[in-house]
Amino acid sequence: MEKKVLYINACARSESRTDRIARALLERLGGLQEEVKLAEMDLQPLSEERLNRRTWLIEEADYTDAMFDLARQFQQADEIVIAAPYWDLSFPAILKLYLENIYVTGLVSEYTETGRPHGLCLAGKLWYVTTAGGPYLPDFSYQYLHTLAAEYFGIPETELICAEMLDVEGFDADNLVAQQIGQIQKRKLL
């Protein structure tokens, strides 16, 4: 059976350097690929009304509602690639909205009798692809996603792919992106 690769594209620009690197990775990964273009979605924060409805559906163990489509898609992927540029020491807000909408207890995570989270996602690996105009600090982007993946989603492996210093005078952005793509093309992927 062909592996299912979910591509979560949090790039707003049509000529995104982050997206170019991510697509090189997707080409190497192969498999059946599904893309979620966050900039084209009407994702909403959980208002009181939506939160109450979601809570009721979870309590009823009714995960068939369209409200849970993205969570089911995320939970069932074999590998996940997230592409998000480095904005304001983190990632675009649309990615946080996506995570808020997919974090559904009973689909992507559950809690044990001792109150510890236990992930329910099938993915063996989550790849995080980013680009930064200056130096990249992973604390509030990759590290956050790494913790979610490992401790809450049950995804055992995460990997960061990053091209940085792209907008700093004296650095050749096109060359740095090409180098990162070249490294991906040479990689041995399982």
pLDDT of residue 188: 78
- Under DSSP, the state recorded for 124 is S
pLDDT of residue 6: 98
Q: What domain range is 156 assigned to?
A: 4-186
Cα 28 to Cα 168: distance, rounded to the nearest angstrom = 29
Distance of CA 81 to the CA centre of its chain: 6
77-81 mean pLDDT: 98
110-116 mean pLDDT: 94
| CATH number of 169's domain | 3.40.50.360
Return the residue matching tokens 């939160």. 51
Share of the chain above pLDDT 90, in %: 96
Is residue 190 scored above 60 in pLDDT?
no
Domain count, the chain: 1
List, for residues 84-93, the tens digit of each pLDDT value: 999 999 999 9
List, for residues 130-155, the tens digit of each pLDDT value: 999 999 999 999 999 999 999 999 99
65-89 mean pLDDT: 97
Cα 69 to Cα 108: distance, rounded to the nearest angstrom = 12
111-138 mean pLDDT: 96
pLDDT of residue 98: 98
pLDDT of residue 97: 97
170-184 mean pLDDT: 95
Contact of 108 with 102, CB cutoff 8 Å: yes
Contact of 176 with 166, CB cutoff 8 Å: yes
Helices (H), the chain: 17-29, 48-59, 69-76, 93-102, 142-147, 173-186
pLDDT of residue 54: 95
What's the whole-number average pLDDT of the chain?
A: 95
pLDDT of residue 189: 72
